[in-house]
A and B are shown apart, each in its own frame.
Chain A
Amino acid sequence: MKNYYLKNVVTLQFDEKRCMGCGMCVTVCPRGVFQMNGKKAMLVDRDACMECGACEKNCPFSAISVNAGVGCAYAVIKGALTGNEPNCCCSSSGEGKNTCC
């Protein structure tokens, strides 16, 4: 079962003109956001994106951009209070929490 978070909030941008159809984004995305459509990639489930940044990092042709970060309330609140960018709080724990804090 696929869970969805808020609609229309993610910063993911895909520039089809730059896409060379290598398929890397489809492979790396843990949320099934991209699919191949002939020789180009295609955004099929934008709202599923969790802004992890894997696609941007692994697109050899810089066709994707996303403001990557962790969707973690603790980090965002801390970031807002200290005026810094939200930073993952992993350093204090190994994995008890899967994603971040």
Chain B
Amino acid sequence: MSGENYNTCCSGDKQESTKDKYSMGEGQFVTFPLYTPYKEDTPVKDEKEEIFNYYQDFIIDFLETPSGKVPVVDTEIHFEDKIGSWKVRWGIGRFNYRVRPGLYAVGRPNENSLIYVTANYKMSFDRLRKSLSGLNGWIMVLDTDGINVWCAAGKGTFGTDELIRRIELTGIKKIVSHRLLILPQLSAPGVSAHEVFVKTGFKVIYGPVKAEDIKRFLDNGMKATEDMRTVNFDFLDRVVLIPMELVQSIKYILIFIIIMLILHLGDVIKFRFSYIYPFIGAVTTGSVITPALLPWIPGKAFSFKGWVMGLLWAIFVIYKQGIFDMEKLSVTLAVILFLPALSSFLAFNFTGASTYTSLSGVKKEMKIAVPLMITSALTGMVVGITGHFLKF
């Protein structure tokens, strides 16, 4: 039996290659049902709703298995997938960007093919199917509420229970003869490998952190080397997060524009860009510049790093606006007290996006830094506003 392919429902031939999937005629394609008729725990309530909630356009074929038909997925990422990822990065309609949980096939897998487990967050899934191109394998998608592997593992949705449940629901035991599951390394906080083994007989192997390393991992005898296992949070890792930070900080910028407008109600005509650029700069310093330059800024605490950068910005603003003179003492003080505190707070927020901060560390930082930030910012605000009205 071993080595034999399961028949596919469109082409009965035994081609190992994944290339034959493109030979499928269009007429054949439309004869496939829209839905995967394989076992699924949640019944489809409204067919249309299902189409909108799940992105399943990557299904190119179906494979007949002892546990029912399994959809075969495309390993190519198309333009729409890229647009989708781009939208997610910029925070546009990022809800429901999910894949239907269950079993999928890549290439023409058989009973000896490996099983790769992932989350039903579309980007996690896309990365995996792309990295598996040219291979034959099974993809088991867990129901993680459309959340990526790492977050879901932390929450426990990508967890031991869901994995055990999904093993049963997909009937994978009848499809493969081996008992190995390859999980992404970053799912380990949610999954207890020994518990899964005791309860299902499947041995969990933690693969690389990044799906792109899967082939190297397989070549290495299914062992993740240290660099595949560790999370480093390099410059590029940080830079891809910046759009999201920027989108989130726009609201702060708007708030300051409004405050400054109110303060200058008397002479709106004289309202100048110089009134608001200090804020825009401080927000950008905290949420974009500090994250990007993170390891090169002195200090360990994010709030401190943000404060240092904010201080540099404040000094620049004071220099630029020529407000060293005693006449504008209140403005100078307000700038020096308020802007660094603002950058500091935004930089502190970036701990959430970083991949090396610990809960205990953030708690400690909060106890020490947050009161300082608030005091500094409030004092700055009071000085600035009273100075504005009393003209000192």
Residues of A within 8 A of B (CB): 1-7, 9-11, 24, 27-32, 48-54, 57-58, 60, 67-77, 80, 86, 88-91, 93-101
B88 contacts A6, C-beta separation under 8 Å:
no
Contact yes or no, B353 A9, CB < 8 A:
no
Which residues in B have their C-beta under 8 angstroms from that of A3?
232-233, 294-295, 354, 356
Bound CA span A50–B189, Å:
11
Which residues of A lie under 8 Å from residue B295 when comparing CB positions?
1, 3
B351–A51 touching, CB < 8 Å: no
Distance of A31 Cα from B189 Cα, bound (Å): 13
A90 touches B359 (CB 8 A): no
B353 touches A97 (CB 8 A): yes
Among B89, B154, B244, the residue within 8 A (CB) of A70 is B154
* Interface bits B338-359 vs A (CB < 8 Å: 1, else 0): 0000000000111111111111
Q: Decide if A95 touches B154 in the complex (CB within 8 Å).
A: no
Do residues A49 and B358 form an inter-chain contact, with CB atoms below 8 A? yes
What are the residues of chain A within 8 A of B362 when measuring CB–CB? 71-73, 76
Chain B contacts of A2 at CB under 8 A? 230, 232
* 0 or 1 for each of B263-278: is its CB under 8 Å from A? (1 = yes): 0000000000000000
Closest B residue, CB atoms, query A59: B194
19 new A-B contacts, CB < 8 A, other than A86-B359, A90-B151, A100-B353, are A2-B230, A2-B232, A30-B231, A31-B356, A49-B358, A53-B189, A70-B352, A71-B362, A73-B350, A86-B363, A88-B155, A90-B155, A91-B145, A96-B89, A96-B241, A96-B244, A97-B352, A98-B237, A99-B150
Which chain B residue lies CB-closest to A33? Answer: B230
CA–CA, A10 to B349, complex, Å? 19
| A-binding segment of B12-20, B130-138, B212-220, B364-372 | B364-372
Q: Does the CB pair B155–A51 fall under 8 Å?
A: no
Majority secondary structure, A binding face: loop
- Cα distance, A81 to B109, chains bound together (Å): 51
- Enumerate chain B residues within 8 angstroms of A27, measured Cβ to Cβ: 206, 224, 229
Q: List 19 A-B contacts (CB under 8 A).
A: A1-B295, A3-B295, A24-B193, A29-B229, A30-B231, A52-B188, A58-B188, A60-B194, A68-B154, A68-B359, A71-B352, A71-B358, A72-B357, A86-B359, A86-B363, A97-B352, A99-B352, A100-B352, A101-B353
Whether B355 contacts A98 by the Cβ 8 Å rule is yes
Instruction: Please determine whether A99 and B355 come into contact, CB atoms closer than 8 angstroms.
Output: yes
Question: B152 contacts the other chain (Cβ, under 8 Å)?
Answer: yes
Query: In the bound complex, do residue A96 and residue B88 qualify as a contact, i.e. CB atoms below 8 Å apart?
Result: yes
Is B384's beta carbon under 8 Å from chain A? no
A73 and B348 form a contact (CB under 8 A): yes
The answer to whether residues A57 and B190 also contact, given A93-B91, A94-B94, A94-B123 and a CB cut-off of 8 A, is: yes
